[in-house]
Structure 1
Amino acid sequence: MRTELFDYELPPHLIAQTPVPRGESRLLVLHRREERIEHRKFTDLPDYLAQGDVLVINDTRVSARRIQAQRENGKPAEILLLRPLAETEWEALVHPGLKPGRKLTLIGPQNAQVEAMVVDITPEGGRRIALPNREWRDRIASWGEIPLPPYIHQSVEDEERYQTVYGYRPGSAAAPTAGLHFTEALLETLTHKGVKQVALTLHISVDTFRPVREENVEEHKMHGEQVMLSEAAAQTINQATGRIVAVGTTCVRALETAAQLARPGQGEGVGHERVAPFQGETRLFITPGHTFRAVDALITNFHLPKSTLLMLVSAFAGRELVLRAYREAVEKEYRFYSFGDAMLIL
């Protein structure tokens, strides 16, 4: 399958640079069977969900930090902290890439400084950097700025706007952006309507921003991400009397990974085991042709051309229908990407 099949034209001014107030985004509703499109507001979401549906959210929280640094030769560098390792180390991206044994001086608030050393290169091309002790490892977790995607060229005034209202498990390099639209009031409205909510955790890798560069989709190597789906959450999903509605592509990947581990059930009714509890890494790459076992509906944002996220959405709704919806979204000047508008696929 050619990667260019998932390309589309997007005028740069439609890439959202700042968020609108939570809950005030537009909502494109895509009906797969009827191949029909509606244009609504995100606050209209309850109109499309019913009692017995289960809304699956990703409770991860962005913990990555972008920190300025100085190399041994005095030239600047930049560190993107991803996750703590061992007692004194972080997994990080370092720009420019430095070889093991090289030292860096990390620069924090009020010109606080600490020396770090690159000790290893990770399989994904990142770096393991070591701090003097655990106290320093923990201290630098609050330095710097929260990292925004490279297509956003403005800083966000309130860092909490790049977090979901329900995210509390630190570990992500990026926000699960479909969840940024939800307010506590909207979630409460859905609860009163009888829509259950269940959380899983998928810590998003920085690779989520990267387009597929191979000419053929099958040659792309998917990045690994840590997932946790509890036994209680799996039970709620398996006992659902309505649809399983995934909030974001992260939830889709987590659920479909857990579905691969489920025991074959009898029929497709209540109690059928769609998913099994799961904790570990997923490298599931969902492309057209995938058989969805755990997801019935999807809330998502508009994604980059040639990205694994657009391929996943195309697998769920059909490539031609998705690209048609994207063209209509461009014509009607929807806002795209992380701080942009939303799509509900039914």
Structure 2
Amino acid sequence: MFVPVPPDPRQLSIHDFTYQLPPERIAPEPLANRDQSKLLLYQAGELTDRSFQELPGLLPSDSLLVFNDTKVVRARLFAHKPTGGIVELFCLEPVAPHKAIEPAMQQIESCIWKCLVGNGKRWKSGPVLLEFEANGQPATLTAERVEQGEGYALIRFSWQPSGLPFAEVLRAAGHLPLPPYLNRADTEVDAVRYQTVYAAHEGAVAAPTAGLHFSDAVLAELATLHIPSAHVTLHVGAGTFQPVKADNMLGHSMHGEPISVTAATLRQLLEHLPKPIIPVGTTSLRTLESLYWLGSRLLQQTDSAAPEWHVGQWQPYEPGADVSAADALQALLQHLETTGEQELHATTQLLIAPGYKFRLVRGLITNFHQPESTLLLLVAALIGPSWRTVYEHALGHNYRFLSYGDSSLLLP
């Protein structure tokens, strides 16, 4: 059946989703222990101050937690011009010979990436070099600009020894891309703490920060309480820090990010419905909701053309057939079984804002986000105008904000 078009967020003004965030409330460093952060519980309109260690006992007993197991790569490279000047190259996404993250990270000899370039105006032409050590041996990375775009450049990297995979080059030569608002260099502490303990698949240039609070002890307590978990992969892009500059959301272009979900996880999600599915972080939430829209489109496809494995930012706000979450997941699973594939790969630009109807998730574990950000829009979509009450409480009770800040469990 066809349903009315839901409220359209295209006319929303981002200026209606702001608050005053004092600089001293932004956490500059991680706490000594991951699970010692504060946890603000929002449940059915009530607010309670708790500790993240208490999370397992606060979840609905029949919950399924969904984690994003992406791993942050050392995507910042500092190369030297022949004159001695430094050029910063921030690797955003692979271009050639592979556009998919996994094969791009295993590429040997040379590759081309889309990069942000720092100090680029002083880099007129010619290669820049970075000398480093890999596996105890001297190595050299050469970077050349092959195309200049608006706000980015395409950079050809080549390296010696040429048999090193690019992932190993980044591990040995690169630096962690900390959020720009921290305004500091990465440290050995960040090398551990800006990764989740369950990170598995390299490809992100920003951490799924809600997961940074989980320690081995908290994961063990979840297992003791028989709260199951599932894993998805969304490689967080630099666009997660992209400010909304347009007066209304129609003028904002949502960044796209690659997602991967195994057939086993699709089965787990399908079998868990209609019990609560709680994503850990906004990236897990966007992945789960994107699965619905991928499956919905697959069910509505009437020809034999290859499916379009992409979710546009406005797709949920267009008129269309209202399929159930179970039917959407079943369609995806059936497609994988028919093709013999074990994993679904897609991209998503899904923008979740007030007016969005959630299809799979029933809550969220998340940090406290920047004013006038798409992440704050997502929180407002989930809990409505109460987002202001939540943030006012956090500001009034000394919660730490942003990537290394405290956490919240939102159960509307």
Q: Shared fold (TM-score greater than 0.5)?
A: yes
Q: Shift of residue 175 of structure 1?
A: 0.5
Q: Which residue of 2 aligns with 1:309?
A: 375
CA distance in 1, matches of 2:149, 2:295: 32
Q: Shift of residue 204 of structure 1?
A: 0.5
Q: Which residue of 2 aligns with 1:212?
A: 244
Tell whether 2:194 aligns with 1:162.
Answer: yes
Judge conservation of contact 1:211–1:307 (CA < 8 Å) in 2. Answer: yes
Q: Which residue of 1 aligns with 2:289?
A: 256
Aligned residues: 341
Tell whether 2:141 aligns with 1:131.
Answer: no
Tell whether 2:34 aligns with 1:22.
Answer: yes
CA distance in 2, matches of 1:122, 1:248: 32
CA distance in 2, matches of 1:147, 1:199: 23
Judge conservation of contact 1:64–1:171 (CA < 8 Å) in 2. Answer: no
Q: Shift of residue 77 of structure 1?
A: 1.2
Judge conservation of contact 1:248–1:300 (CA < 8 Å) in 2. Answer: yes
Aligned-residue Cα RMSD (Å) equals 2.7
CA distance in 2, matches of 1:15, 1:69: 30
Task: Using the TM superposition, name which of 165-174 and 324-333 deviates more.
Answer: 324-333
TM-score normalized by the length of structure 2: 0.76
Q: Which residue of 1 aligns with 2:111?
A: 89
Deviations 1:200-228 (A, max 9, x none): 00000011112111111221101110001
Distance 1:235 1:126, change over 3 A: farther
Structure with the greater alpha carbon radius of gyration:
2
Task: Using the TM superposition, name which of 132-141 and 289-298 deviates more.
Answer: 132-141
Tell whether 2:51 aligns with 1:41.
Answer: yes
Q: Which residue of 2 aligns with 1:8?
A: 19
Q: Shift of residue 192 of structure 1?
A: 2.0
CA distance in 1, matches of 2:225, 2:150: 46
CA distance in 2, matches of 1:122, 1:312: 30
- Match of 1:313, SS state, is helix
Q: Shift of residue 238 of structure 1?
A: 1.3
Aligned with 2:361 (options 268, 278, 295) = 295
Judge conservation of contact 1:204–1:250 (CA < 8 Å) in 2. Answer: yes
CA distance in 2, matches of 1:5, 1:266: 30
Distance 1:260 1:267, change over 3 A: closer
- Match of 1:151, SS state, is helix
Q: Which has the higher helix share?
A: 2
Judge conservation of contact 1:30–1:36 (CA < 8 Å) in 2. Answer: yes
Task: Using the TM superposition, name which of 158-167 and 82-91 deviates more.
Answer: 82-91
Q: Shift of residue 56 of structure 1?
A: 0.2
Judge conservation of contact 1:54–1:244 (CA < 8 Å) in 2. Answer: yes
Distance 1:136 1:82, change over 3 A: farther
- Which 4+ residue blocks in structure 1 deviate beyond 4 angstroms? 97-101, 110-113, 121-124, 263-268
Distance 1:101 1:280, change over 3 A: farther
Tell whether 2:126 aligns with 1:103.
Answer: yes
Q: Which residue of 1 aligns with 2:62?
A: 52
Tell whether 2:258 aligns with 1:226.
Answer: yes
Aligned with 2:72 (options 59, 62, 74) = 62
Aligned with 2:326 (options 261, 272, 284) = 272
Q: Please, which runs of 5 or more residues in structure 2 have no aligned partner?
A: 1-11, 98-106, 300-320, 334-343
CA distance in 1, matches of 2:241, 2:220: 32
Q: Which residue of 1 aligns with 2:101?
A: none
Q: Which residue of 2 aligns with 1:247?
A: 280
Tell whether 2:90 aligns with 1:80.
Answer: yes
Q: Please, which runs of 5 or more residues in structure 1 have no aligned partner?
A: none
Aligned with 1:329 (options 379, 394, 397) = 394
